[in-house]
Structure 1
Amino acid sequence: MRIIIAGAGEVGTHVAKLMCNANHDVILIDDNAERLQQMEAHFDLMTIVGSVSSIDDLKSANVESCDLFIAVPPYEELSIMSAILAKKLGAKVTIARINNYEYLLPENKEFFQQLGVDQLIYPEELAAKEIMTSLKRVGIRQQIDFSDGQLILYAIKIRENAPIVNKTLAEVGEIHSQKLYNIVAINRDGETIIPRGNESFKHNDLAYFITTPEGTQQLMTDAGKEQFDIKNVMILGGSRIGKKVAQRLEDDYNVKLIEIDKEKSNRLADELERTLVINGDGRNLELLKDEGIKKMDAFVAVTANSEVNILACQLAKKMGVRKSVAEVENMDYIDLAENVGIGTLINKKLIAASYIYRYTVKARVSHVKCLTTSKAEVLELVASDDSKIIKGRLSEIKLPKDVNVGGIIRNGQAIIATGNTQIMPNDKVVIFAMPSGIRKIEKMFN
């Protein structure tokens, strides 16, 4: 696939890396020559120094033969203009990054499509949704819903108190008469393992499970996770994400938001009706104590500084807060944040990449998610009448070693996959795949 990425900022460069690793023909446009040189030195792509809103520069990138045009410059107006121009010049599919929620409203979607923007992506909005999802259930590192929550992927840290620790997958499967969940992957010491029956759960493993709403409680019990209701939430950072999370929480939770910038604090206090906005430095332990950090059930750190977010969550944890969420945009800090025990990690680049990635998968795909603490992806693919995947039971099909089938949705019903499961046409299949397995599984669904 020929892909043009307009904008070599954090999102643009991360998406470019993913697309290069997936063997796409990638062209990256930006007016920062030094930034482009760094990308060209490390990745197999073409770069063009120019303006993302210049017709001549877009033409020099042969935009007319582009399969996917991704506009992610720093400014919303540039992003929309770039996507419009690309479409008019012949790009097949255009995606533009925005930061205005009203553009996403259903009544405005057709308007932008008429202009030439096929899809709009708002990473901050998607990040806020992920935070909201993570606060609904404690004891998990990540939660991804498929088909309106009929199948759910949970990333859970396994501790010594878990009943399944030191047991093999085969032994865990024998605990219950009915299969309630699937173990699709384990992240151990920075490496992702696609486990088989003789693999054991170890202390500090980050395990990925596929289950249903009905199987969730048993999974949490087996993983040693005690559930409790969240009522009091403290948010550090009045960013777009922080504001959106507060707006969605304040009707049902007791919310405090700490913002270091006085002018922004005053503005947020006017805009947030039921949130207590405090002007102060969230790195100040005495301030956190004065504002009742020990009484909080959850702490959400979403400042523009990854280091501050990690340290603040560590402070909150030491003060007894049981659920923490940190926005970590520096990819080098992801493993560090995971190892120090921060509950949920949010990364806008990965969120944006997940949204965009599905347009590059050749099989029928309804959902793709790039996992925060793993190089793997989880996909929801739709089987067709001539897919190779339907030719026999899963135990009879030679699935790639870097792929695992978690479950399927058939006629609105969720099924946890076993070796005896046979996929049927129009089934939605939730699959965990390493990067090396993406193209292999595409072929099995085409």
Structure 2
Amino acid sequence: MKVIIAGAGKVGCMLTKKLLAEGYEVTLIDNNQQVMEVCSDRFDVMSVQGNCASMEVLEQANIRKADLLIAVAGKDEFNLLCCMTAHGMNPDIHTIARIRNPEYGDQIYKMRDTFALSMTVNPERQAALEIDRLLNYPGFLRRDTFARGRAEIVELKIKENSKLCNIALNDLNSIVKSKVLVCAVRRNGVVSAPDGNFVLKEGDRIYVTAAAKELTSLLKNLGIITHKAKRVILCGGGKVSFYLAQMLSRAGIDVHLIEKDRDRCVELAKYLPDVSVIWGDASNQTFLESEGLEQCDALVTMTSYDEMNMIISLYAQNCNVEQVITKVDHTENSMIQDILNLGSVVCPKELCCNQIVRYVRAMENTTGAALSVHSFAEGQMEALEFRVDEKTRNCGKPLKELQLRKNVLIACITRGKMPVIPDGESTFDVGDTLVVVTNGDVVLHTLNDMFA
């Protein structure tokens, strides 16, 4: 399949890396010559320098033979014009545009046919939704939802005083008293698929599959806080903060948003009447304390600088804030993030890329494609949700009899409305949905790809 990516920024480069790894033919367009030279050295792609919305440039990129255009240039208007022009030159092409401006939200939805859009993505709004979900379940560093919200894969960190510290996975259920499955463990930056003899250590990050109704019980039995935040401090007044403040204030949460740019504060106060917008520097220790840092239930750092977010989050952890969430834009610093105590880490660009990759896979496999795709453990693992159909092999066979590919695990089976954490005797049948976990080296385009 031929894919054109317009815009070679952070999202464009991350998408290029992911799609090339899955065997797609990628062409990259960007107006910046220096950026294009770096991309040409880094990736084996055809590159075209120029305005991505220009017919001449799109012609050079061979738009008439392309299957998909992904417009992730710096400006929303460029992305919209790029998609419209591409569709005019190739009526059969699929188009995806990144639209970030909140003012365009309703307009884009109502006029998506006019703009010839197959899909739009908004990294900042996706990040806000992810943070909102984390605030609803303090204690989890990350949550990925499957089976229409009935099953989840959650991330937990093993702390020194955790009940799971120095415990073998065979003994896990007797401690958590819930039906769960540890599908991956990350230790010192390396992710592994553990067996029952694996012993958990302080600092490990574990990825647990469970039915959604079991999550509260899981946290309670581990002695982790389960009450939702009532007072939240947001550091930084960017787009993620705007979307998140909107969501939280509508839910009746007391939100304090700190922004150092005075004009931006005035603008935010205009659109967020139920939010306390405060003009100040969130990196100033005295100022944070004066705003009641130690009395808040959660703090979310969302300034424009990863380093600043990390420093503020570390200080909040030192002040024993119950829940800390850190926004980052550079996923290559994952080892640093592991070492530091940053709480939950959310990357808008990674969330956006995962959504686009799911669409690309579904395009190629209209029958049997994954219903959802989630990347976790810093991109080293994937969880995919598939529906079992008449073409699926090995229906009705116990899982212990199946020959699965290496590093592939069936983590959950949903039959009707009932998610089940499987064991060796479990089976699946037509109509069920499966959550399959695999490492980044194995690409599953259809469910049958999991079998050896």
| TM, length-normalised to structure 1 | 0.93
CA contact (8 A) 2:369 2:446 kept: no
Sort the Cα spacing of 1:372 and 1:236 in 2 relative to 1 into closer, same or farther, 3 A. Answer: farther
Q: Between the two proteins, what is the percent identity of the paired residues?
A: 27
CA distance in 2, matches of 1:200, 1:249: 39
Pairwise mapping of residues 301-316 of structure 1 onto structure 2 (< 5 A)? 301-316=301-316
Sort the Cα spacing of 1:402 and 1:276 in 2 relative to 1 into closer, same or farther, 3 A. Answer: same
CA distance in 1, matches of 2:189, 2:34: 31
Other-structure match for 2:97 = 96
CA distance in 1, matches of 2:88, 2:101: 23
Give 5+ residue unaligned stretches, structure 1.
none
CA distance in 2, matches of 1:192, 1:322: 27
Sort the Cα spacing of 1:110 and 1:391 in 2 relative to 1 into closer, same or farther, 3 A. Answer: farther
Sort the Cα spacing of 1:32 and 1:197 in 2 relative to 1 into closer, same or farther, 3 A. Answer: same
Other-structure match for 2:346 = 346
CA distance in 2, matches of 1:201, 1:325: 24
CA distance in 2, matches of 1:100, 1:366: 28
CA contact (8 A) 2:80 2:115 kept: no
Structure 2 SS opposite 1:211: strand
- Tell whether 2:161 aligns with 1:161: yes
Sort the Cα spacing of 1:260 and 1:175 in 2 relative to 1 into closer, same or farther, 3 A. Answer: closer
C-alpha RMSD of the superposition: 2.2
CA distance in 1, matches of 2:377, 2:254: 28
CA contact (8 A) 1:384 1:445 kept: no
Which segment is superposed worse, 35-44 or 323-332? 35-44
Which segment is superposed worse, 64-73 or 109-118? 109-118
Other-structure match for 2:243 = 244
CA distance in 1, matches of 2:245, 2:117: 30
Shift of 1:285: 0.3
CA contact (8 A) 1:182 1:416 kept: yes
Once the two structures are superposed, residues 12-45 of structure 1 have per-residue CA deviations (whole angstroms, 9 ceiling, x without a partner) of 1111111112222111111112212212212222
CA contact (8 A) 2:370 2:446 kept: no
- Kindly provide the amino acid, as one letter, of the partner of residue 111 in structure 1: M
Shift of 1:103: 5.1
Shift of 1:118: 0.5
Sort the Cα spacing of 1:393 and 1:9 in 2 relative to 1 into closer, same or farther, 3 A. Answer: same
Which segment is superposed worse, 123-132 or 378-387? 378-387
CA distance in 1, matches of 2:307, 2:233: 18
Give 5+ residue unaligned stretches, structure 2.
none
Shift of 1:443: 4.2
Other-structure match for 2:391 = 386
CA distance in 2, matches of 1:147, 1:99: 28
CA contact (8 A) 2:306 2:327 kept: yes
Shift of 1:168: 2.3
Once the two structures are superposed, residues 307-360 of structure 1 have per-residue CA deviations (whole angstroms, 9 ceiling, x without a partner) of 111111111112221211111102233332232121211111101111101123
Aligned with residue 400 of structure 1, among 405, 408, 422: 405
CA contact (8 A) 1:382 1:445 kept: no
Other-structure match for 1:230 = 229
Other-structure match for 1:198 = 197
CA distance in 2, matches of 1:138, 1:375: 24
- Tell whether 2:374 aligns with 1:375: no
Once the two structures are superposed, residues 252-276 of structure 1 have per-residue CA deviations (whole angstroms, 9 ceiling, x without a partner) of 1111111000111112122211211
Structure 2 SS opposite 1:167: coil
CA contact (8 A) 2:410 2:437 kept: yes
Once the two structures are superposed, residues 371-403 of structure 1 have per-residue CA deviations (whole angstroms, 9 ceiling, x without a partner) of 263422222122221123536222211122222
- Kindly provide the amino acid, as one letter, of the partner of residue 245 in structure 1: L
CA distance in 2, matches of 1:436, 1:391: 28
CA distance in 2, matches of 1:389, 1:87: 42
CA distance in 1, matches of 2:449, 2:236: 45
Other-structure match for 2:144 = 144
CA contact (8 A) 1:48 1:61 kept: yes
Once the two structures are superposed, residues 387-443 of structure 1 have per-residue CA deviations (whole angstroms, 9 ceiling, x without a partner) of 235362222111222222211222222121222222222322112221212247654
CA distance in 2, matches of 1:367, 1:104: 23
Other-structure match for 2:419 = 414
CA contact (8 A) 1:346 1:372 kept: no
Other-structure match for 1:208 = 207
CA distance in 2, matches of 1:68, 1:311: 40
CA distance in 2, matches of 1:176, 1:226: 14
Aligned pair count reads 444
CA distance in 2, matches of 1:442, 1:157: 31
Other-structure match for 1:118 = 118
- Kindly provide the amino acid, as one letter, of the partner of residue 97 in structure 2: A
CA distance in 2, matches of 1:265, 1:176: 45
CA contact (8 A) 2:191 2:377 kept: no
Sort the Cα spacing of 1:288 and 1:110 in 2 relative to 1 into closer, same or farther, 3 A. Answer: closer
Sort the Cα spacing of 1:35 and 1:27 in 2 relative to 1 into closer, same or farther, 3 A. Answer: same
| TM, length-normalised to structure 2 | 0.92
CA distance in 1, matches of 2:115, 2:321: 48
CA distance in 2, matches of 1:176, 1:70: 44
Shift of 1:146: 1.6
CA contact (8 A) 1:345 1:372 kept: no
- Tell whether 2:27 aligns with 1:27: yes
